[in-house]
Amino acid sequence: MATDVFKYPRKGTQVVHIDLDPTALRRTYREELSIVCDAKVALAMLREAARAARVDGNSWSAWAKEVRGRVSAWLEDLERVSRETAVQGRLNPYHLMRLLDQHLQGDDLLVADTGYMAAWAVTVLQQKQAGRNTLRAAGSLWWAFPATFGARLAVGGKRRVFGLTGDGGIGYHLADLETALRLKTSAIQIVEQLLARF
C-alpha cells in the first residue's frame, strides 16, 4: 500500500527519511540521514539548504509537477467516490471515512485496525493540522478495539479517542468491554460491518 505499485529504492540508493515519529525511522530502510521533524518544516529547511548550496531545482520540476497532479487527481477521485452513502445496497466505506474526516479535529487520536481499516485511516483521512495522531495496526489482527481503550487511558480526558475496526475484529475482543466498563474508560468505537454473499 505504500510502495507505489511495488516499486522500491534500488540497492545503494541514499535515502533521507523525515518522520515525526522517531520509532518509524530506520524501520524499513537503512537511510543515510534520519530526521525527526514535522515534514512541512523539514522540507522548508531542506529547500533553504538547497538554495544556499545553489542546487539546481529545475531538474526536479517535471517530477514535482507530476506529483502535484497525482495528488490532485487522488483528492478529486476520493471526493467523487465518497459522495454516495451506499454502493449496491451496502454502506460505502469511503462515505463513512468522509464523515469521520469532517468530524475529526485538533489533537484527536485515531486507532485503526489492520487491513482496510488501516489503509483507509492513513490514505483517506486527511491530516489537517499538527498534533493529531493516527495509530494503525501493522499486521496485528483485530488489535484496535482494546488498543483504543489503552490509548484513552494513556491520554486521559484531555483528548478524544476514536477506534476504527471491523465486525470480525470487535468479535475477537468483545470481552474487553467489561474491562473498559470496570475501569470507566470511554472511547468512541466505529465498527464497520462487512457483508459477504455466499
> What's the mean pLDDT in 174-191?
85
143 within a domain of the structure (yes/no): yes
128 vs 29: which has the higher pLDDT:
29
Mean pLDDT of the chain: 84
Q: What is the pLDDT of residues 1-14, one digit of tens each?
A: 455 566 777 888 89
DSSP state of 59: G
Which value, in Å, is the radius of gyration of the alpha carbons in the chain? Answer: 20
104 within a domain of the structure (yes/no): yes
108 within a domain of the structure (yes/no): yes
Q: What is the pLDDT of residues 73-106, one digit of tens each?
A: 989 998 999 989 988 888 888 898 889 988 888 8
Least confident of 26-35, 60-69, 121-130: 121-130
Q: Which three cell numbers stand for residue 125?
A: 483521512
63 within a domain of the structure (yes/no): no
170 with 83, same domain: the answer is yes
175 with 86, same domain: the answer is yes
pLDDT at 198 over 50: no
Q: What band does 193 get if pLDDT is binned at 50, 70 and 90?
A: low
- Count of domains in the chain? 2
87 with 40, same domain: the answer is no
Q: What band does 194 get if pLDDT is binned at 50, 70 and 90?
A: low
- Alpha-carbon gap, residue 39 to 45, rounded angstroms: 10
Q: What band does 195 get if pLDDT is binned at 50, 70 and 90?
A: very low
50 with 84, same domain: the answer is no
88 within a domain of the structure (yes/no): yes
40 with 87, same domain: the answer is no
CATH of the domain at 96: 3.40.50.970
Residue 21 burial (CB count, 10 A): 10
The pair phi, psi for residue 11, each rounded to 5°, is -60, 135
**pTM score over 0.75:** no
Residue 29: predicted pLDDT? 80
Q: Is 170 exposed, middle or buried (0-12, 13-18, 19+ CB in 10 A)?
A: buried
Q: Residue 21: which domain range?
A: 17-55
Helices (H), 31-175: 39-52, 61-81, 93-103, 116-123, 144-155, 167-172
152 with 188, same domain: the answer is yes
9 within a domain of the structure (yes/no): no
42 vs 59: which has the higher pLDDT:
42
88 with 170, same domain: the answer is yes
Residue 36: predicted pLDDT? 93
